[in-house]
Amino acid sequence: MSDTVTLEVLQGFLDAFNRHDLNAVMGYFADDCVFYMPRGARPRGDRFVGKEAVRAGLEKRFEGIPDVHYGDDRHWVCTDGVNNGGVSEWTLTGTSTAGQQIEVRGIDLLEFDHDGRITRKDSFWKIVE
């Protein structure tokens, strides 16, 4: 992992999700990471803190939408010389274990530490009604 956030890093992170390779996905996260899911009991969504909790939350995502796929993606790197961030925009498609077809447009707001690891992942989905 590079100390510089690049478009290739953001694309690699998304590719790991699409392979459902949880070990590869977790390799992008810092030990003290925070992940905000797009859904949950609070307006900011369910919150997972630390690699172990984030991994458990992501396992639930892969279990709940076993064929989840992120496509039609675009990525931006954001840095001001002190803070490193990125934005990934995508369309999530899949089928829930209850048989519900899902297609939503969403983004991830990402913050990185100086070692190039994700410290915060905040996911947002457009709500289709």
Query: Is 25 a residue whose pLDDT tops 50?
Result: yes
CATH number of the domain within which 52 lies: 3.10.450.50
pLDDT at site 79: 84
Task: Tell me how crowded residue 36 is: count the other CB atoms within 10 A of its CB.
Answer: 19
b vs e for 92-104, b when ≥16 Cβ sit within 10 Å of the residue's Cβ? Answer: bbbeeeeeeeeee
Q: Residue 108 and residue 86: Cα distance in Å, rounded?
A: 8
Between 94 and 81, the more confident residue is 94
Is residue 44, in this structure, part of any structural domain at all? yes
Task: Determine contact, residues 24/16, Cβ cutoff 8 Å.
Answer: yes
Is residue 2, in this structure, part of any structural domain at all? no
For residue range 59-72, list pLDDT tens digits in order. 998 999 999 999 99
Is residue 92, in this structure, part of any structural domain at all? yes
Total count of domains within the chain: 1
Is residue 58, in this structure, part of any structural domain at all? yes
Taking residues 5-25, what's their average pLDDT?
Answer: 96
Is residue 1, in this structure, part of any structural domain at all? no
The pTM of the full predicted model, rounded to 2 decimals, is 0.91
Which residues form the domain of 69?
Answer: 7-125
Is residue 19, in this structure, part of any structural domain at all? yes
| Per-residue confidence band for 128, with pLDDT thresholds at 50, 70 and 90 | confident
Task: Determine contact, residues 116/102, Cβ cutoff 8 Å.
Answer: no
Report the chain's C-alpha Rg in angstroms.
14
